[in-house]
Amino acid sequence: MYIVPKLEDFSASALDAAARDLKSALQSESAAIASEADWKVLRDRWMARKNGVLTLLNDQWLKAAPTPAKREVGQRVNEVKKIVEEQIDAALARVSSTVSASRLEQERVDITLPGNRRKLGIEHPLIRTMNEIVGVFKAMGYSVAEGPEVETDYYNFESLNFPPNHPARDTQDTLMIKGQQGKPLRERLLLRTHTSPVQIRAMEKQPPPIRIVVPGRVHRADTADATHSPIFHQVEGLAVDTNITFCDLKGTLDQAAKAMFGSSVRTRFYPSFFPFTEPSADMQISCFKCGGSGRLKGERCGMCKASGWIEILGSGMVDPNVYGFVDYDPKKYSGFAFGMGVERIAILKYGIDDIQLFYQGDVRFLRQFA
């Protein structure tokens, strides 16, 4: 370790010899450092203000020099100071470069190795099915409409031609919001039992022609089992214009059925009843599993229960009474409406035997749709 000598001789040759010894010691010490901590020790030993080598040079060389030699000694001290600063900076750069290279080597990634594939989520089978249904009708020129799940009695029942004593108003079927008994019947809140209220809201906002499809979640007081759920999904549709007939209804739904289940399926309609349509009809499609024969590989087809037909939706011509709630002229306009359960369509498409599987969040079940 270098120690600053006290000079007795301040001649040029003596100063040269002392400077050479200092530079040699500096090079040896700087070459020996291997880390940033070593470099800090080196820096402080040579450049500290109180006891650093450069400070001692000023005290023991410059201040101790006789007056005639001070100029020469001062120049040598400044030269040495510059060399020391350069050597200290160079040592830091070398150590930093070595440390960075070491860190890069530690953090090096072998890009030839296969990566870890992140598992991506998928659409839930109900959402996928609902989007497929909506996509079919959007392709036929229908717009998508949405509305609130908490509805008033007026929109959910009254404006859809449900009289006050209609069985669908039974609290066993409808989930009512608590604390509504003091309100007039039409203002009482409930969880919508179908997406049909959105049809009324859309007709209030828009004069004919109107063609909308309404996807959404609905609620009924059903006990959960393999075929029932208190929460399920519907897609309904509405078309109102001049000169719309039942033939338009049949043609539209036949086209939709073929788009959803294949071009080979056939459709048929038979009478039914819905308060907001007259006449009303349920629609069946020929079983796409057994081809409508009722038999599959010589056995009874379980999907259509050997009938060859599967019911998938309800429909009908909009009852003229409904137009009175939205200021449509029933003498000028006519239209049709339809509605289907998304869960039922998904069960048919994917061969699922328990509706509760859609809501249990079992990843093993959901992975099948990836």
pLDDT at 335 over 90: yes
Q: What six digits make up the tokens of 65?
A: 């020099």
User: Class of the 125-148+197-369 domain?
Assistant: alpha beta
Average pLDDT, the chain: 88
Hey, what long-range contacts does 74-77 have (CB within 8 A, 24 or more apart)?
76/15, 76/19
Q: Determine the pLDDT at residue 111.
A: 75
Average of per-residue pLDDT across 149-161? 95
pLDDT at 366 over 80: yes
Hey, what long-range contacts does 32-40 have (CB within 8 A, 24 or more apart)?
33/91, 33/95, 34/95, 34/98, 35/95, 35/99, 36/92, 36/95, 36/96, 36/99, 38/95, 39/88, 39/91, 39/92, 39/95
Query: Which candidate, 100, 96, 87, 89, places its Cα nearest to that of 35?
Result: 96
Q: Determine the pLDDT at residue 54.
A: 77
pLDDT band at 99 (very low <50, low <70, confident <90, very high): low
Q: Determine the pLDDT at residue 213.
A: 98
Q: What six digits make up the tokens of 248?
A: 């338009």
Query: Which candidate, 155, 152, 134, places its Cα nearest to that of 143?
Result: 134
Domain map (residue ranges) of the chain: 12-106, 125-148+197-369
Is there a contact between 181 and 306 (Cβ–Cβ < 8 Å)? Answer: no
Q: Determine the pLDDT at residue 77.
A: 78
- Which tens digits make up the pLDDT trace of 263-301? 999 999 999 999 999 999 999 999 988 888 889 888 898
Average of per-residue pLDDT across 310-330? 95
- Which tens digits make up the pLDDT trace of 120-135? 778 899 999 999 999 9
Query: Which candidate, 16, 10, 112, 94, places its Cα nearest to that of 60?
Result: 10
Is there a contact between 221 and 230 (Cβ–Cβ < 8 Å)? Answer: yes
Q: Determine the pLDDT at residue 36.
A: 80
pLDDT band at 172 (very low <50, low <70, confident <90, very high): low
- Which tens digits make up the pLDDT trace of 24-45? 887 888 878 778 887 787 787 7
pLDDT band at 101 (very low <50, low <70, confident <90, very high): low
**Interatomic CA distance for residues 143 and 128, integer angstroms:** 18
pLDDT at 100 over 70: no
Which is more confidently placed, 105 or 145?
Answer: 145
Tokens 């669908």 identify what position? 168
Q: What percent of the chain has pLDDT over 90?
A: 51
Q: What six digits make up the tokens of 104?
A: 């890069």
Q: Determine the pLDDT at residue 115.
A: 75
Q: Determine the pLDDT at residue 102.
A: 63
Which is more confidently placed, 45 or 137?
Answer: 137
- The total number of residues shown for the chain amounts to 370
C-alpha distances in Å from residue 204, one per residue of 114, 144, 156, 159: 59, 16, 14, 11
**Interatomic CA distance for residues 10 and 73, integer angstroms:** 7
92-104 per-residue burial string, b: 16 or more CB within 10 A, e: under 16: beebeeeeeeeee
